[in-house]
Chain A
Amino acid sequence: MTSAIYFDGRSTRAHSVEFLVEGEFLHITGESVKLVEVLRSLRFTVAYAHAPSRIDLPGGGSLEVGDKEAFHALRLACGRAPSHVERLESSLRYALAGLVVMVLAGVSAYLWGVPLAADLIVEHAPRSLDARLAKGSLDQLETLGWLGPATPLTVRETRISERFATLAAPVGVPYHLIFRSFKGGPNAFALPDGTILMSRELEELSDNDDALLFVLGHELGHLRYRHGVKGLARATMTSVIMMWYVGDVSSALAIATAGVANLSYSRAAEAEADSFGSRLMHQNGLSTKPAAQLFRAMETYVPKPNQSLVPDWIKKLPGGKKDAPASSSGDASSKTGESIDQPAESSGNVAKRPRVKIPTYLSTHPATEDRIELLEQDKD
C-alpha cells in the first residue's frame, strides 16, 4: 500500500488515497474513491528528485505520488522503462558527456564550421554584394572629415601607380588606387568595391617604393579573397551562435565573446593578405625587406600634433580602442575595407608614456613582429 493524492479530472479536489498493484491491475482506494485501472493504460511523467511524480489514468484522473521508490516500482511493474532521454538526464556521467559534446561542437564551429560556411557563402555570393558593402564608405569618411582633399598625384604617386599597374594581379574585381591624406595616420585599405586607398601619411613614412608596393599587394590580397564579405559572413554567424548560447544571460556578453572570435578570423585574414602580398612581390622579383622596415617605422610612429582622430576621452582610457575605423576589418558593422595595420594604436601620448600594448588575441591584426619576420624571409 502506497499513499498518494488522487485527482479525478472533474474537480480540483484532492483525494487522499492508497494504491496497490494486484496482477495486471492497479487498485486505488480512498474515502470516496474506489478505482481499478489496467496497468498497461497508465502514463508516467518524468520522476524528479524533489517534486511529486504523476501518473495519468485513462479516465482523465491522475495520481500524485510522493514516494519515489513506489513510483519506480509501479512504473517497472507496468513495463514502462524511463525514456532514453530521461535516463541520460538522470546521470551525471551523461551530463558531463553532454558538456564534452557542447565544447567539441563549439570548438569545431570556431575552427572549421564558421570558416567553411563563410567560404561557401563567399563562393556563392555575387560580386555585386562586395560593391554594395563598400557603398558610401568613402563618402562617409569624407563627411566625417577623415580624408584630405583629392589633390593631383605627385610624381612619386604617379610612379607607384604605374608600377602597381604592372604587377597585374587579377583579383576578380577591377581595382583602382587613390592617394589621400588620412586622419588615421599611416594606413592603407581596400574597399570591397575595388577602391584601394593609401594614406599620404603612410607614403611619407617610407622612401622606398617597394615597401609601399607590398602594402598595395596586401590590399589586393584582401580583394582577392573577398575578406569584406567573408568577414561579414563570419561575424554574422558568430553573433548568431553566441546570441543563442548566452544571449539570454546578457547580449553584451554574447557580443563580447563573438567579437573575440571574430578578431581571430580577422588576424587569419590579415595573414592571408600578407602572404598574398609577399608572393606577388616575389613573383615580380621584388623584395619584401623594405616592407619590414616600413612596419618597424609604423611601430614607432608618432603623429604630428592636431593630427589625432580619436576623441581625447577615448585616448585617455587605458587600453581604449585607438583604432582607425578602417582597421576594424572583419567587423560586421564596418563597411570600410581592410587596412594594412593599426597605426592609430600608436597615436596619443607615445612620447610621454609607454603605449598600451593590446594583447594579440584582442587585436585585429597579427603581431607586428610576426609579420616582420615573414617579410624578412626574403627569397632574393
Chain B
Amino acid sequence: MSSIDPPLDPSRPSDPSPDVDFLLPLVAAPTPLPPSDRVATPPPAAYAMRFTGSGEEYFKIWAVNLALTIVTIGIFSAWAKVRRLRYFYANTMLAGSTFDFHGAPAAILRGRLIALVVLLAYTFAPRISPILYGVVAAFILLVFPWLYWRSLRFRLGNTSYRGARFSFRGKLSAAYAILLPPALLFLGLNVLVVMFGPKTGQMPDLSFFSKIGMVYLLALLVTPYYYHRMRAYQHGNAYFGATPFSYSGTAGQFYKLSGKLVLLWFVPLVVVLALGGLVAATVGRSWPKEVAIFAILPVILGFYFYLFLLIPYASARSQNIVWGQTQLGDVSLTSTLRARDLTAVLVVNFLLNACTMGLFRPFAAVRAARVRQEAIAFYGNPAQFENVPVATGGPTGAEFGEMFGFDIAL
C-alpha cells in the first residue's frame, strides 16, 4: 500500500462510495516523503471519518445499561455513560485507527451529584426566600464558566487516538470572559421581568411587552457572536498530543447562517399568511365552517412541521462551519454534511422514536452519529497526526469530573 492514499476529490466530497481504498486502515507505518518532495508537491491526502457502530449492537448495550441504571436508582448512569462513550469512540474510525475514552465513572458520578444538588437548590430556593434564590442564582452564575472549562478538560483529556491523548488548554479566565456577559444578560432579563413585569393577577400593558421584546431581540442578536466565541474557545485550545488545533471561523459565518434561518422562517410565514388571507377573503367566504377548519388545520400543522425541519438544517450547517474552520497542525478538516441528509435521518429517527415509545433511540443514535461523522474528512499531510509526539503538558483529565454533556464530538 502506498504511504499516501488517493486523495478525495474535493469537488465531490459527499460521494457515497465507502469502499474505496482511502478508508482502509493505514496499517503500514507511513514512510515520510523526503522533505524536498513534500515542498514540491504537497499531496492533499484525505481521510474520511468512518462510523462502524451498528444499531443492533448498540441496542443491546443501551438496554442493559438503562436497566442497570433503573435498578441502581440512577447510580449506574455514570458507568453507563462511559460505556456509551467508549462504544461511540471505539467505532469512530479515522485512517484505520479508532478513538477511546478513558474517563472514570466515579468522577462523572461525583459531577452529576453536584449538578443535582445545585439543580435542587435552584428549584427550591425561590420557595424559601427570594434572597436565598438570589444567592443560589449568583453562585451558579459564578461557577458556571468554571464547570464548563472543567468539563472541556475532562472530555478532551480523556479522549485518545493512536495512543495519544487530546487535551484542552484554554484559560479559565477566557471561559469567564466568554460566558459571563451572556449569563449576565440573561440574568438582567430575568431581573427586568421580575421588577417591571406584571404583578400576579394583573394584565401586563403593551409598553412592557415592547420593552421586553426589544431586550430579547438584543439577546437574539448577540447569540451568534457568543456561539462563535464558544466554538473558537473549544476548538482553538484543543491539542492532539503536542499538536495544537486551530480555529479560523468568524462570527460573520454564524450571522449569515442565522440570517438564512430567519429568512427561512419568515418568508414562508408571510407567504402562507398572505395566501391564506387571499383564500379566506375570496373563495373561502362561502365555505361552511367545517370546510374552513379542515382547510386551515393542515396548513398550521404543515408550517409547524416545516419549522421542525429547520433544526437539522441549522445543525448541519453549523457543523460544517465549525469543523470546516478547524485545523490540526497543518491538516485541515472539512465537514460536508448536507442538510437534507441529516434532516432525512433525524425525521425518520423522530417518527420511529415516537412510534416505538423511545425503543428506537439506540438505533437513532447510531444513525445520527454515522451521518454526522462520515461527513468529516481530513486533508493534508497525514504525518501530522500519524506520527507526532504524544508529549503531554496538558491536563490529563483524570482528576476532573464532568457536570454537563458538553460535547465536541471528536
Contact = CB atoms under 8 A, between A and B. Distances in A.
A367 to B, nearest CB: 25
9 contacts: A11-B389, A54-B100, A61-B163, A66-B25, A89-B60, A94-B64, A102-B70, A143-B202, A246-B358
A7 B297 CA distance: 61
Contacts of B87: 46, 48
B53 A316 contact: no
Given A48-B87, A253-B353, A98 B388 contact: no
List the 3 closest pairs (A to B, CB-CB), nearest first: A139-B201, A7-B163, A98-B67
Interface string B71-100: 100000001000100110011010011101
B200 A16 contact: no
Contacts of B357: 257
B235 interface: no
Nearest to B290: A353
Q: Which of A12, A60, A98, A143 has the most CB of B within 10 A?
A: A12
Interface in A86-104: 88-92, 94-99, 101-102
A4 to B, nearest CB: 9
Nearest to A144: B203
B29 interface: yes
B4 to A, nearest CB: 14
B305 to A, nearest CB: 12
B125 interface: no
B169 interface: no
Contacts of A90: 60
B231 interface: no
Contacts of B349: 249
Given A12-B387, A51-B98, A102 B200 contact: no
A197 to B, nearest CB: 15
A62 B294 CA distance: 65
A142 B350 CA distance: 42
B353 A249 contact: yes
A355 B90 CA distance: 57
Contacts of B67: 97-99, 101-102
Interface residues of B, number: 62
A50 B91 contact: yes
Given A12-B162, A51-B98, A139-B201, A102 B389 contact: no
A142 B201 CA distance: 8
B158 to A, nearest CB: 14
B29 A316 contact: no
Nearest to A50: B52
Interface in A246-271: 246, 249-250, 253, 257
Contact of A136 (B65, B162, B200): B200
Contacts of B203: 143-144
Q: Which of A10, A14, A318 has the most CB of B within 10 A?
A: A14
Given A12-B390, A51-B90, A250-B350, A102 B66 contact: yes
Interface string A345-363: 0000100010000000000
B27 interface: yes
B294 to A, nearest CB: 8
Interface string B354-389: 100111010010000000000000000000011111
Contacts of A62: 163
Contacts of B106: none
B250 interface: no
Contact of B386 (A12, A48, A88, A98): A12
A168 interface: no
Nearest to A92: B60
Contacts of A318: 293-294, 297
B26 interface: yes
B68 A85 contact: yes
B201 A51 contact: no
Contacts of B386: 12-14
Interface in B109-141: none
Contact of A101 (B57, B71, B241): B71
B201 A13 contact: no
A11 B70 contact: no
A10 B388 CA distance: 8
Nearest to B389: A11
A82 interface: no
Contact of A85 (B27, B64, B66, B96): B64
Contacts of B201: 136, 139-140, 142-143
- A contact residues, range: 35 or more
A64 to B, nearest CB: 6
A307 interface: no
Nearest to B87: A48
A316 B296 CA distance: 9
Contacts of B385: 12
Contacts of A12: 161-164, 241, 385-388, 390
Contacts of B71: 101
Nearest to A244: B74
Nearest to B66: A102
Contacts of B53: 48, 50-51
Contact of B289 (A9, A31, A249, A349): A349
A373 B406 CA distance: 56
A51 B164 CA distance: 18
Given A54-B98, A102-B67, 11 more contacts: A11-B389, A12-B241, A13-B386, A14-B27, A16-B28, A50-B52, A52-B90, A52-B98, A250-B353, A257-B357, A318-B294
Nearest to B203: A143
B59 interface: yes
Nearest to A142: B201
Contacts of A201: none
B388 A89 contact: no
A50 B70 contact: no
Nearest to B201: A139
Contact of A48 (B59, B90, B290, B297): B90
Contacts of B91: 48, 50-51
A13 B63 contact: no
A50 B163 contact: no
B64 A95 contact: yes
Nearest to B99: A51
B179 interface: no
B200 A135 contact: yes
Q: Which of A85, A92, A105 has the most CB of B within 10 A?
A: A85
A95 B100 contact: no
A317 B304 CA distance: 15
Interface in A73-126: 85, 88-92, 94-99, 101-102, 105
B251 interface: no
